[in-house]
Structure formats: structure tokens, C-alpha cells
């Protein structure tokens, strides 16, 4: 048997059911805030990510799935969605003199070391807002993510960490100061940080190595480099979060791994998943549109990792999620299958219940066994007599009560989830 590629998981029931519940909840939150969905390609020119995410980031340096097209163009499976989203809106003229609030959902690919919560194909729901420079949109994005956690019943298990990186010149000045401070102590840095000293020095702040952290204790501090305007933006944002009742921790070491962030950056983190505790990350990226060839356009966004959100959801809500079907349709006359399929179709349409049609014949006992096994609340029994009379038999599988009804009466019972006059 050919097996799946390492780090590329199959998401099967019941996990897939949990994914659907989460995705639906998040979509509803985003729809309610009038964000529009976009669908973007999985493959883009490699250059888009090199320029957008940054040549010196881990993602571009060593984590992309890059391939040559048949005409020798270098393509990469998208490692994240923001660069593609900017490309798509820009290319279609949707960024010029307009504001846009959009979201997308789908798989991303990074060649990382797989472990629980970290995969080579993982799923993100990304949310981006363009053309809005104020801290109000940062606050809206954070409020929307907080609402998602509340809807999913995991709000008590996540915390918000937030920081400001300042505008690009402040970030550059800090980068230089940090490199100047760390270079004479290079030998004491952990291996990753030594490499990052020349490629992506801000990421050294993220290092978990004790010796590195000890060195950093005396290092120049980012907040001292951040420009006054950025401080004011941040202070205003924190004031809005206070007013909204959104708790946060200001973590001055939070920098995020992608190059494009400026001003606000944030992560929603849980302590319930071990090492891979970041469920969602985002921030402001005012320079990205220009960097990708567009006009300067303020922008901010975040991405929720669905895999990790589902893991946390499972820790908090251990139930396996509603499985199987709500209604099981038994066909007791094998010559009438098409007519019974028609009944099942009409029940699906009219009730929105999950209606599973029995397949493969067999006697009533066998079919009822299947109905019980799939956890259905109702069985619909259709034999020759019922079809001739234009009726069907509806049986409540929990209390055993059954009635012979017209299709419309049965639909009403299924929708009400009880027989008329019954206590359910």
C-alpha cells in the first residue's frame, strides 16, 4: 500500500465533523461582520512568497514545497495566505482607493518537522482587511477572533499576547542595534539564533534557549526604538481592547516569523496543547502591498490554524460530535427503491435533517439494526402498503412510538423532533 506523505494527514470522522463545526462557527462570525469570502490558488510563483513573506524567513528559506513547472517556472505551494490574497486583490484592481475585508479557508504547506499540532499540510482560515490604517480595524479583527473562541466554547483556554514592532524604519533601527549587541557574543547563542543573526535577527527574541535568553536580558529593548506614532497607535488599540473587555498580555518579545509585519502583532495562545500552543497569529502589514508592487496600502489580518483549534476544541469538548444520521429511511419493497429514494430526497430538502437511505435490501430487522447503529432518532419505514396509500410509517427510535402519516405530517414531526401531543 502506498502511504500518506509524512506530515500530511487524513482528517476523517469524527475529527472532520469537528472541523465542520469550527469552520461554520468562524464563517458565521465573519459573515456577521460583512467580511467577503475569496478563493485563492494553492500554487503561486515562488517569487511571490520570497518577496512577500521574506527571503530570510524560515518559511521561505527552508520550508516551501517548490517545484518547476513544465515550462521551468519556479512555483511553490502556498505556505500562507496573506501574500496570495494581496496578489489576488491587487491583480484584480480591488485595492486601489477602496477598502476590502475578506477571508479565505484552505490548506497551507510548510516543510516543518511534524509533531502533534504541527503538520506539513495544515489548514488556515485567514482574515484580511485592506485600506484601513487606524487601530479600530486592529481592534475589530481581535474582537472577531475573540468572538470565534467564545462561539466555540474555548475562550477560557486561550490568551491574547500582543506587541508593536513600530513602523519599518524603527524596526530596521532596532534590528541593527540588536545585531550590534549580539555579534560580539555570537558564540553563546544557540545554533538557530546564530544563523538568524545574519538572516532574521528579530526572531532571536523568540528563542527558547536559556543562554540566549540570558544574553537578551541585557540587549537593547524593542519598545525603546518604536516610533511615537506607533506607540500612539498601540496605546489607542489597547484602550479599545480594554473597552471591549478583551484581555491581553503585552509581550515585548513577540515578533512573529513573517517579515511583513509592522506596528501591531498578536497571537492567541493556549497552554493546553503543549509546544504547539499558538492557535492564531496576525497583525498589521502596512508595507506588504507596496512590496508586492502595489500602491502603499495599510492592511491587517490574522490566520486561525484549524488543526490546532480542533485539537483544543477536543480537549475542551470531549464529546465525539453528533455522528451518523438523524433519520434512517428503510425500504421494505426492493421493487420500489426509486420511489423511496424520492421520499428521502424530499425529507432532506424539507427538514434539513441528515437523512440516510438504507441500501442493499434485507429484512426489516436488519434495516432497523442499521438505523440504531447510525444513531438516528427517527426511522421511516416504506413498504408496498404505505406507497399505495401515499403514506409512510414514522418510528421514534428513542421511545419506540410509531405512527402512519402522510409525508407532510412526517416532515412536521421530524422538524418538531416529536409526534404531536407527545412529550418527545
Q: Which residues bind ligand AMP (CB under 6 A)?
A: 80, 110, 112, 118-119, 122, 124, 257, 278-281, 303, 305, 307-308
Under the phi-then-psi rule, with left for phi > 0, alpha for psi from -120 to 50, and beta for the rest, what region is 175? Answer: alpha
State in angstroms the smallest separation of the CB of 304 from ligand AMP: 7
Question: Quick one: 119 or 248, whose CB is closer to ligand AMP?
Answer: 119
Q: Which is nearer to ligand AMP, 114 or 383 (CB)?
A: 114
Neighbours of 10 (CB within 10 A): 7
Q: Which is nearer to ligand AMP, 128 or 386 (CB)?
A: 128
**Torsion angles phi and psi, residue 326, rounded to 5:** -95, -35
**Residue 118 or residue 317: which is nearer to ligand AMP going by CB?**
118
> What's the closest the beta carbon of residue 119 comes to ligand AMP, in angstroms?
4
Taking the complex as a whole, the smallest distance from the CB of residue 399 to ligand AMP amounts, in Å, to 44
What is the nearest approach in angstroms of ligand AMP to the Cβ of residue 402?
48
CB 353, min distance to ligand AMP, A: 33
Which cell numbers in the block locate residue 291? Answer: 512590496
The DSSP code for 118 is B
To the nearest 10 degrees (0 to 180), the angle between helices 228-244 and 135-151 is 40
Q: HSE-up of 404 (CA within 13 Å, CB side)?
A: 9
Min dist. Cβ of residue 123 to ligand AMP (A) = 8
- Which residue is listed with cell 513573506? 53
Residue 372 CB, nearest approach to ligand AMP (Å)? 38
Q: Which is closer to ligand AMP, CB of 277 or CB of 362?
A: 277
Q: How far is residue 135's CA from residue 112's CA, in Å, rounded to a whole number?
A: 33
What angle do the packed helices 191-199 and 168-182 form, to 10 degrees? 130
Nearer to ligand AMP, 82 or 331 (CB): 82
Helix axes 135-151, 15-32, angle to 10 degrees: 140
What's 317's DSSP letter? Answer: -
The smaller minimum CB distance to ligand AMP, of residues 140 and 267, is found at 267
The minimum distance between CB 147 and ligand AMP, in angstroms, equals 17
What whole-number distance in Å separates Cα of residue 52 and Cα of residue 293? 10
Residue 306 or 357 with smaller CB distance to ligand AMP = 306
Chain residue whose CB lies nearest ligand AMP: 305
Cα–Cα distance between 105 and 29 in angstroms, integer? Answer: 14
Q: Residue 395: phi, psi to the nearest 5?
A: -120, 130
- Between 307 and 326, CB nearer to ligand AMP: 307
Q: Which is nearer to ligand AMP, 117 or 131 (CB)?
A: 117
Q: How many CB atoms lie within 10 A of CB 415?
A: 12
> CB of 122: closest distance to ligand AMP in angstroms?
3
The least CB distance from residue 261 to ligand AMP, in Å, is 9
CA gap 313, 306 in Å, rounded: 10
> Torsion over CA of 81, 208, 188 and 250, rounded to 10 degrees?
80
Helix, strand or coil for residue 66? strand
- What per-residue string of b and e applies to 27-60 under the rule 16 or more CB within 10 Å gives b? bebbeeeebeebebeeebebebbbbbbbebbbbb
Q: Work out how close the CB of 59 gets to ligand AMP at its nearest, in angstroms, rounded to a whole number.
A: 7
Cell numbers that stand for 21 in this block: 463545526
- Look-up of cell digits 465542520: 20
Distance CA 3, CA 27 (A): 33
Between 110 and 370, whose beta carbon lies closer to ligand AMP? 110
| Cell numbers representing residue 273 in the block | 496543547
Give the 3-state secondary structure of residue 359.
Answer: coil
Amino acid at each position: 500500500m502506498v502511504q500518506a506523505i509524512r506530515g500530511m494527514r487524513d482528517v476523517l470522522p469524527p475529527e472532520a465533523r469537528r472541523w465542520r463545526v469550527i469552520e461554520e462557527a468562524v464563517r458565521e462570525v465573519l459573515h456577521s461582520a460583512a467580511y467577503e469570502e475569496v478563493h485563492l490558488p494553492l500554487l503561486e510563483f515562488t517569487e511571490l512568497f520570497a518577496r512577500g513573506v521574506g527571503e530570510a524567513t524560515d518559511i521561505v528559506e527552508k520550508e516551501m514545497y517548490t517545484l518547476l513547472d513544465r515550462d521551468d517556472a519556479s512555483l511553490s505551494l502556498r505556505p500562507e495566505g496573506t501574500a496570495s490574497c494581496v496578489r489576488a486583490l491587487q491583480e484584480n484592481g480591488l485595492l486601489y482607493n477602496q477598502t476590502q475585508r475578506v477571508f479565505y479557508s484552505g490548506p497551507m504547506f510548510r516543510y516543518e518537522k511534524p509533531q502533534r499540532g504541527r503538520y506539513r499540510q495544515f489548514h488556515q482560515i485567514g482574515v484580511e482587511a485592506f485600506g484601513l490604517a487606524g487601530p479600530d480595524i486592529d481592534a475589530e479583527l481581535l474582537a472577531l477572533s475573540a468572538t470565534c473562541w467564545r462561539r466555540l466554547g474555548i475562550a477560557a483556554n486561550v490568551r491574547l499576547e500582543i506587541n508593536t514592532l513600530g513602523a519599518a524604519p524603527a524596526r530596521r533601527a532596532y534590528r541593527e542595534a540588536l545585531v550590534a549587541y549580539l555579534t560580539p557574543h555570537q558564540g553563546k547563542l544557540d545554533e538557530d539564533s546564530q544563523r538568524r543573526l545574519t538572516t532574521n535577527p528579530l526572531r532571536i527574541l523568540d528563542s527558547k534557549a536559556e543562554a540566549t535568553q540570558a544574553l537578551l536580558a541585557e540587549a537593547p529593548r524593542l519598545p525603546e526604538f518604536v516610533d511615537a506614532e506607533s506607540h500612539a497607535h498601540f496605546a489607542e488599540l489597547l484602550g479599545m481592547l480594554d473597552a471591549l473587555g478583551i484581555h491581553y498580555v503585552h509581550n515585548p518579545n513577540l515578533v512573529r516569523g513573517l517579515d511583513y509585519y509592522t506596528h501591531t502583532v498578536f497571537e492567541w495562545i493556549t497552554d493546553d496543547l503543549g509546544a504547539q500552543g499558538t492557535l492564531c497569529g496576525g497583525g498589521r502589514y502596512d508595507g506588504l502591498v507596496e512590496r508586492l508592487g502595489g500602491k502603499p496600502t495599510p492592511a491587517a489580518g490574522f490566520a486561525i490554524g484549524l488543526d490546532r483549534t480542533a485539537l483544543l476544541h477536543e480537549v475542551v469538548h470531549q464529546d465525539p460530535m453528533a455522528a451518523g444520521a438523524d433519520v434512517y429511511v428503510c425500504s421494505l419493497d426492493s421493487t420500489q427503491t426509486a420511489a423511496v429514494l424520492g421520499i428521502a430526497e424530499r425529507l432532506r430538502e424539507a427538514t434539513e435533517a441528515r437523512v440516510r437511505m438504507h441500501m442493499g435490501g434485507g429484512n426489516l430487522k436488519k434495516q432497523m439494526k442499521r438505523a440504531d447503529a447510525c444513531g438516528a432518532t427517527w426511522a421511516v419505514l416504506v413498504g408496498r402498503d404505505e406507497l399505495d396509500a401515499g403514506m409512510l410509517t414514522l418510528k421514534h427510535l428513542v421511545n419506540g412510538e410509531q405512527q402512519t402519516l402522510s409525508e407532510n405530517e412526517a416532515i412536521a414531526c421530524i422538524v418538531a423532533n416529536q409526534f404531536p401531543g407527545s412529550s418527545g
